[in-house]
Amino acid sequence: MLLIACPHCGPRAESEFHCGGEAHIERPKDPASLSDAEWAEFVFLRDNPKGLLFERWHHSHGCRRWFNLARDTVTYEILAVYPMGSPPPALDPRRYV
Amino acid sequence: MTPRYSIFSLLRNAFSYHENWQQAWQSVEPKPRYDVVIVGGGGHGLATAYYLAKLHGIKSIAVVERGWLGGGNTGRNTTIVRSNYLWDQSAALYEHALKLWEGLSQDINYNVMFSQRGVLNLAHNQHDLRETLRRVNANRLNGVDSEFLNAQQVKEMVPVIDLRAGGRYPVLGASLQRRGGTARHDAVAWGYARAANALGVDIIQECPVNGFRIEGGRIKGVETAKGYIEAGKVGIVTAGHSSVMANMAGFRLPVQSVPLQALVSEPVKPVIDTVVMSGAVHAYISQSDKGELVIGAGVDGYIGYGQRGSMQVTEETLAAICELFPLFRRMRMLRQWGGIVDVCPDASPILSKTPVEHLYMNCGWGTGGFKATPGSGWAFAHTIAKDAPHELNAAFSLDRFRTGFLIDEHGAAAVAH
């Protein structure tokens, strides 16, 4: 089980949180002009790296606030916790394979 | 020439104390070129190679595997086989697989211990009940055997289930597919490997793929730890690592890789002679021939490539098992493990051509790929040989995420995702 440092509540067990998927995906500015392929990209295509991943987490059984995590998907190390809206920290991408 | 396994070969070898059995397949070093290279030596990859050689007459085929045969999800699943999927496209594909299962041991001359002991999918509330009835009817319209059992009939079939009123997970009924059951998963990998090898397929283990050579939008070969292998066509069947492979080939997939867990208990005398699944509480249970209870759990809630899974998922599953089967409360679990499954947004697989010419993808089987092994290999072999999908897998294209023609089996197929 992960020990996640909620920026508002401090370190808590993974079971209090809900993962909201990949971070930094912006809703298209002009949705009407998007092609089907671009919509598919926005709706369905996600990074699935073996290594560093930026994702959103929600402290659903705690303060109920969202934040971002940088996590290694192989070792499960949490490399950074940072607020919503800020750019991803510069970290080694750690690509395995 | 691979000798046939039979009662006579068993007897003959008994006289020499079983010391002279031939290797089931030869491990070889790669040749410089093959007509088809299959990346991934699990059940699906080996089945693909077998059907390519047997049904499509392709002589020069190699299967390259990073680790050892069947060391990934083929040897990590809970061995359940069934075809009671809701939608027409899935029902056709999984039912084709189930028909192949029924003749598989004879076809590949290897006992995969396919046991049609029936598969029950429990309904715990009114909504489950309505969905179960809908699926039973949909299955029957598609020619898939399916029955509805009420709570009393479930109790008659599985006497150890707790149906006393007031339980945490009351059982209101279940669907039953009598032709479903289990198979020995290792034997599936070994049997397909042996049968494919007998038809001239080269099996290359401990050979990770590090990249693809692509020229003018067309695949030319694969870069491996054992050197460059030129290939006419390449099929990727790497389950949890499908995205990693697709990224090497320069495109993205709509799949997410998550650990799916399973556990086995200490062996006990026969206590449960069918398969009981509960999608709602993420718990599946059956008993292996060795007597171990084989228990399947749910997936982690986030991407992970560590083959273990979260502790609270184990706990939730075992809590549900103990609620449904109170007599298992004092059982001890012997082993727990995880396999990395690649889940599609619609929980249906991708068996498809890709943006790269002559490169094909078989992935996205998510939490339920084992049951499809023969059908998946059969349809993928057709796709590779003809450079076009078969009618059975045409709907399972990568393009469906652009067209929006999804095959939404999330929950619909009695699967816990």
| B252 vs A2, A36, A45: nearest CB | A45
Give B308's pLDDT tier (boundaries 50, 70, 90): confident
Residue B66 to residue B48: CA distance in whole angstroms = 17
Provide the token pair at B96: 């084709």
Q: Which of A1, A40, A50 sits opposite B305 (nearest CB)?
A: A50
Residues of B in contact with A43 (CB under 8 A): 345, 401
Radius of gyration of chain B (CA): 21
Per-residue pLDDT at B413: 52
Predicted confidence at residue B415, as pLDDT, reads: 54
CB contacts of B302 in chain A (<8 Å) are 19, 55, 71
What pLDDT shows up at residue B332?
95
Cα angle, residue B380 at apex, residues B374 and B386 outer, rounded to 5°: 135
**Chain A residues touching residue B243 (CB < 8 angstroms):** 48-49
Kindly report the nearest CA distance between residue B83 and chain A, in angstroms.
Answer: 26
> How close, in Å, is residue A74 to chain B by CA atoms?
5
Pairing of strands B61-64, B33-39: parallel
Closest of B150, B176, B179, B175 to residue B163, by C-alpha: B150
Fill in the DSSP letter of residue B414. S
Half-sphere CA count of A27, side-chain side, radius 13 A: 2
Contact at CB, A15 and B241, closer than 8 angstroms: no
Work out the average pLDDT over B241-262. 96
* Cβ–Cβ below 8 Å for A18 and B306: no
Q: Which of B253, B301, B305 sits opposite A73 (nearest CB)?
A: B305
Distance from CA of A76 to the nearest CA of B (A): 7
Residue to mutate among A2, A39, A44, with most B CBs inside 10 A, is A44
pLDDT interval class at A1 (50, 70, 90): confident
Q: What is the pLDDT of residue B279?
A: 80
How does residue B417 score in pLDDT terms, banded at 50, 70 and 90? very low
The contact set of B with A (CB < 8 A) is 208, 210, 241, 243-244, 247, 252-257, 301-306, 310-312, 342, 345, 401-404
Contact B303 A74 (CB under 8 A): no
Q: Which residues contact B141 (CB under 8 A, 6 or more apart)?
A: none
- Position B168 scores a pLDDT of 82
**pLDDT on residue B267:** 97
pLDDT at position B411, please? 65
**Exposure on the CB side of residue B332, measured as CA atoms within 13 A:** 2
Q: pLDDT tens for residues A7-42?
A: 999 999 999 999 999 999 999 999 999 999 999 999
Backbone phi, psi, residue B328, to 5°: -90, 5
Residue (of A93, A90, A8, A51) closest to B244 by Cα position:
A51
CA distance B204 to B27: 6
| ipTM, interface predicted TM-score of the complex | 0.95
Q: Which two tokens stand for residue B371?
A: 């049951």
pLDDT (average), residues B114-125: 95
Percentages (nearest 5) of helix, strand, coil residues in chain A: 15, 35, 55
Q: How many helices, marked H, and strands, marked E, lie in chain A?
A: 1, 6
Contacts of B345 in chain A (CB under 8 A): 43-44
Residues on chain B touching A1 (C-beta within 8 angstroms):
310-312
Q: At a CB cut-off of 8 Å and minimum separation 6, what does B350 contact?
A: B253, B255, B344, B361, B362, B363, B364, B396, B397, B398
Which of B236 and A96 is assigned the larger pLDDT? B236
Distance from CA of A40 to the nearest CA of B (A): 5
Residue A67: the pLDDT is: 98
Q: Is B341 strand, coil or helix?
A: strand
Rounded to whole angstroms, the Cα distance separating A38 from B86 reads 30
Query: Over 80: is that where the pLDDT of B399 sits?
Result: yes
Of B243, B342, B402, the CB nearest to A36: B402
Q: Name the residue in chain A with its Cα closest to that of B343.
A: A48
More confident residue, B280 or B181: B181
Residue B166 is predicted with a pLDDT of 65
Q: What is the mean pLDDT of residues A70-96?
A: 95
pLDDT at position B101 is: 98
DSSP letter (8 states) at residue B101: H
Q: Which residues of B173-202 are buried (b: 16+ CB within 10 A; e: fewer)?
A: bbbbbebbbbbbbbbbbbbbbbbbbbbebb
Tell me which residue has tokens 């999908």. Answer: B389
Q: Identify whether the C-beta of residue B214 lies closer than 8 Å to the C-beta of residue B250.
A: yes
Give the confidence band of B3 by pLDDT, cuts at 50, 70, 90.
confident
Q: Which of B385, B362, B364 is nearest to B374 (CA)?
A: B362
CA of B204 vs chain A CAs: smallest distance (Å)? 18
**Distance between CA atoms of B3 and B198, rounded to whole angstroms?**
9
